[in-house]
């Protein structure tokens, strides 16, 4: 063994470690088998997921192979004839159980799943963590006559408001008209509503008048599903805001029409205030128990009388019940104000203005439980014009001129949740969004339109039994 001379102070080089790992040799046929098995598994998953395509294809191939093309043509003809007969004799069930489920599956595959990941990324709803990309899961697509309803499982950390802010971008990304997001039954899911065809493009005719008004659901118009929209008046006040020509009269007269049966029977008393000199509401004078206009001091006096009625009724009901039930002896009192800003901001007499504000504040804060309700419309939703807008549990936003006005009327973040009042076209008066206290998502509605002839006919058919209107249409008193 040779000797190694070690020089003092010199470093001895360390030899590199040589570790030999065991070699694993995989046969080529096994790699090919694994690749084929993986592809077969993916095809099986796709075949099961899209069974509505694969099952008919397999059935067609089997019939063609076993019985020939003539039998296959007969089967297809019989199937088409059966569907046509189903559609002819019962179109409602055909659309619900036959056509729309098929359209939903086709649109889910062709429109949504094909571009889902890329749209989520470009709209800011996908994220990345530790080098991995996470995309919200598309769960279900349901189609109807007017649009698509898409159910999505959100990523951890997302809330429905995030999807509400991106709903408009999502609609444009999928080449659709408009989008809106709302909460689902489960907290990890959100439901997107995309509109293909506007169901509110046409004018809504006056709805039938019930003999006894349902205060829990007054039919006023049509919603986006094409169903009658019902507004709860019991235990609520209603605020209506919209620019000139937006259709505030449609809302007011639809509400009055839905109460007309109760007005005739004495269950409802309608007190009308028209600061514009009576031009807007004068056609319905036979329906009103009070009609005040033009004179601010007179309107302040009528409001103060309503406060007195409210307090007397509250004293009678104290200890008896917590919620008033209308009767002919104790009717529901509905105060309809056509232009609220003219009473709260535009009156030059400060004393009269303060009297009106005080009376309205008392009615709005104490009137609901004793059956005294305020329905008010205005054009200018600024805070200095309407200082007590928070006392209106039900708010209706028609066409507004500025995006900021939407949140002023309907509440914070209402526009982000889909209430695009500033984008309602002038060609669709009576279209608006309704927001209720405790309900996050606004509802898009088109209210029924009543012509002047409809209003006059309504007054003739449902005039009050104790009508004390004078011949000149002056203030109605009881």
Determine if residue 401 is labeled as part of a ligand binding site. no
Residue 402 pairs with which residues in a beta bridge?
A: none
Residue of 392, 253, 261 lying closest to 336 (CA atoms): 253
243 annotated binding-site participant:
yes
DSSP assignment string, 162-214: HHHHHHHHHHHHTT-SEEEEEE-SSTTEEEEEEESS-TTSSPPPPPPPPSS--
Residue 55, number of CB atoms within 10 A of its CB: 12
Helix (H) or strand (E) holding 231: strand 228-231
| Start-to-end Cα distance in the chain | 131
Is 276 annotated as a binding-site member?
no
Q: Are 437 and 445 in contact (CB under 8 A)?
A: no
Residue indicated by tokens 């950390």: 157
CB-CB contact of 269 with 331 (8 Å): yes
Is 9 part of any known ligand binding site? no
Integer-rounded Cα Rg, in Å, for the chain is: 34
Residues 6+ apart with CB under 8 A from 58: none
Choose among 305, 211, 295: nearest CA to 261: 211
- Angle in degrees, CA 50, 53, 59, rounded to 5: 125
Report whether 249 belongs to an annotated binding site.
yes
SS3 percent helix, strand, coil of the chain, rounded to 5, is: 40, 20, 40
The β-bridge partners of 54 are: none
Residue with tokens 């000199």: 277
Q: Is 248 annotated as a binding residue?
A: yes
Token code pair at residue 432:
């608006």
Is 367 annotated to bind a ligand? Reply is no
Tell me the C-alpha distance between 267 and 265, whole Å.
6
Tell me if 245 is assigned to a ligand binding site. yes
Helix axes 296-317, 350-366, angle to 10 degrees: 30
Q: For residue 369, give Cα distances in angstroms to 184, 314, 318.
A: 32, 8, 11
Instruction: Measure the CA–CA gap between 403 and 420, rounded to whole angstroms.
Output: 8
Assigned token pair, 292? 């005040």
Instruction: Cite the annotated binding site for ATP by residue number.
Output: 242-249
Instruction: Cite the annotated binding site by residue number.
Output: 242-249
């Amino acid at each position: 063994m040779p000797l190694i001379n070690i020089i003092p102070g010199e470093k001895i080089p360390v030899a590199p470690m040589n570790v030999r790992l065991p070699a694993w040799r995989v046969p080529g046929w096994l790699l090919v088998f694994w690749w084929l098995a993986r592809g077969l598994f993916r095809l099986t998953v796709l075949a099961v997921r899209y069974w509505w395509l694969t099952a008919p294809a397999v059935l067609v191939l089997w019939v063609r192979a076993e019985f020939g093309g003539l039998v296959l043509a007969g089967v297809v003809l019989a199937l088409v004839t059966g569907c046509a007969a189903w559609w002819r004799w019962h179109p409602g069930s055909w659309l619900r159980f036959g056509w729309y489920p098929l359209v939903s599956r086709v649109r889910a595959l062709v429109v949504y799943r094909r571009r889902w990941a890329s749209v989520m990324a470009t709209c800011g709803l996908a994220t990345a963590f530790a080098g991995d990309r996470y995309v919200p899961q598309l769960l279900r697509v349901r189609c109807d006559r007017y649009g698509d309803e898409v159910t999505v499982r959100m990523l951890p950390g997302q809330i429905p408001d995030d999807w509400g802010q991106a709903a408009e971008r999502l609609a444009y990304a999928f080449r659709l008209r408009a989008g809106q997001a709302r909460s689902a039954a489960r907290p990890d899911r959100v439901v997107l509503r995309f509109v293909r065809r506007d169901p509110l493009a046409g004018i809504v005719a006056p709805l039938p008048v019930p003999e006894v008004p349902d205060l829990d659901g007054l039919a006023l118009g049509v919603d986006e599903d094409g169903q009658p929209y019902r507004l709860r008046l019991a235990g609520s006040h209603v605020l209506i805001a919209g620019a000139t020509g937006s259709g505030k009269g449609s809302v007011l007269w639809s509400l009055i029409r839905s109460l007309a049966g109760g007005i005739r029977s004495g269950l409802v008393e309608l007190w009308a205030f028209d600061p514009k000199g009576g031009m807007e509401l004068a056609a319905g004078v036979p329906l009103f128990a009070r009609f005040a206009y033009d004179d601010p001091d007179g309107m302040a006096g009528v409001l103060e009388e309503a406060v007195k009625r409210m307090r007397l009724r509250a004293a009678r009901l104290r200890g008896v019940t917590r919620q008033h039930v209308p009767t002919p002896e104790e009717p529901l009192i509905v105060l309809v104000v056509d232009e609220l800003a003219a009473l709260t901001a535009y009156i030059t007499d400060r004393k009269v203005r303060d009297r009106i504000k005080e009376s309205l504040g008392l009615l709005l804060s104490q009137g609901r439980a004793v059956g005294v309700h305020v329905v008010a419309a205005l054009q200018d939703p600024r805070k200095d014009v309407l200082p007590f807008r928070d006392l209106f549990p039900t708010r209706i936003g028609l066409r507004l001129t500025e995006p900021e006005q939407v949140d002023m009327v309907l509440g914070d973040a209402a526009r982000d949740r889909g209430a695009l009042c500033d984008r309602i076209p002038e060609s669709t008066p009576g279209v608006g969004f309704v927001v209720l206290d405790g309900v996050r998502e606004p509802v898009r509605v088109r209210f029924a339109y009543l012509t002047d002839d409809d209003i006059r006919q309504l007054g003739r058919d449902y005039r009050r039994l104790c009508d004390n209107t004078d011949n000149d249409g002056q203030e109605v008193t009881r």
